[in-house]
Amino acid sequence: MTTYRQPGLVLTDHRFPVPLDHTRPDGERIEIYGRELVASGTADKDRERLPWLVYLEGGPGFGARRFVGPQAWLGRAVREYRVLLLDQRGTGRSTPANRQTLPLRGTPAEQAGYLAHFRADSIVKDCELIRRRLTGGAPWTVLGQSFGGFCATHYLSTAPEGLDTVLVTGGLPSLYATADEVYRAAYPRVRRKNEAHFARYPQDAERARAIAAHLLDHEVTLPGGGLLTVEAFQSLGILLGSGDGTHQLHLLLEQAFVPALGGPVLADAFLEQVQAHLSYAGHPLYAVLHEAIYAQGQGPTDWAAERVRGEFPEFDAAAALSAGEPFLFTGETVHPWHFRTDPALRPLRETAELLAARADWAPLYDPESLAANEVPVAAAVYHDDMYVDTAHSLETASAVRGLRTWVTDEFEHDGVRAGGPRVLDRLLALARGEK
């Protein structure tokens, strides 16, 4: 273990070997990385007495957030916890899974078989092995953001004995909805976010149409070799689900074009920023496994977001421009064309197709166990959350015995980051019966 310091924090690196397949504990092993954080000035004897809180990041496919000092919710957490920021399998400093490493597994079929072990069920089993090693068997608190909340709900379903308290921010999943139903609920929310954005920044409506028209007439390559198609441009709408995302999108659009010899072109600075928002190079599993997080023994997901999009023709940019209808951005969706336009995903196209066709995904949640829950649970549910359907979340909240909700429109999906310590403070109070 390596220990070092930042302002206000003492950090310790941990590495945990875990089975790739938990049904074969003596088989192949991978490594999970975790970063422990305690407040500076904590005496060793006091540190050993502190309870643990493990943070599960959103995603799938993102490593735990890298804080510099006690930022956001972390400052509140280290007042009473030893915090473990866990890089879920395949992410961050854990054994990597990307276009560079996955070919070591063999064929696309072998890669898909490997990645089938990277869902919430395996992540929770990793957590249980790590918990027993770190706490000596004592239960710990889980803070799950977005997909981390999906993992926490699976944790409650399958290993509640490992849990002292569960805190969920923007991440209560439907216990029953298929991927099709998830996206069928999502597209109307995305349209509402578009309407709110263009009401705030009406000048962006024509700017977005002009960029889309340019992309329909020109092949545009991003600095890193990706293709900026009109569908890829639309996917910048993913920004609209975060607290300052509407402002980020506006500032991006206002500097799109520069004059050139052959007429206006998309500016290099614009394309560089677009690439930063759209590239999956840092989180390829987000694309490869995105729909698999909704799969629960109900057959293949089969590119649900792409198929369901056909039910909402207003998102067809070319048709909208031709008919003089509003241009709409899309949201948190992954499509087959991502594996053509993004260089980080192109080598994984066949693997992704096999995962989309996979039909034997196991159920992730146990409604009977959740109905009998005895673990204190509190969840922040963001009103009209673009990423996770509010109605689905509230339905699940009512199905988990004792779960207390805080429904708020003060924050978007990133409230736990944007709200500083307030969101964590409120959830801890709810879980403890103080509010």
The residues annotated with a catalytic role in the active site are 146, 360, 413
Helix, strand counts (H, E) of the chain = 19, 11
Query: Which element (helix H / strand E) includes 138?
Result: none
Query: Is the bond preceding 60 in cis, omega lying within 30 degrees of 0?
Result: yes
Q: Given CA atoms 345, 272, 69, 163 in this order, what sign does their dihedral have?
A: negative
| Distance in angstroms (rounded) separating the CA atoms of residues 210 and 399 | 47
Helices (H), 116-220: 120-135, 147-158, 179-200, 203-217
Beta pairing partners, 14:
34
Please give the Cα distance from 428 to 435 (Å, whole number): 9
- Amino acid sitting at position 225: G
DSSP tag of 51? P
Contact 145, 349 (CB under 8 A): no
**Helix or strand (DSSP H, E) at 110:** helix 108-115
Q: Per the structure block, which two tokens stand in for 416?
A: 């736990």
∠ CA(117), CA(123), CA(126), 5° rounding? 105
By three-state DSSP, how is residue 12 classified?
Answer: strand
3-state secondary structure 235-280: HHHHHHHCCCHHHHHHHHHCCCEECCCCCCEECHHHHHHHHHHHCC
Note whether 208 and 329 are within 8 A (CB): yes
Distance (Å, whole) CA 340 – CA 387: 24
∠ CA 362-366-372, nearest 5°, is 170
Side chain identity, residue 385 = D
CB 404 within 8 A of CB 378: yes
Instruction: Return the SS3 of 378.
Output: strand
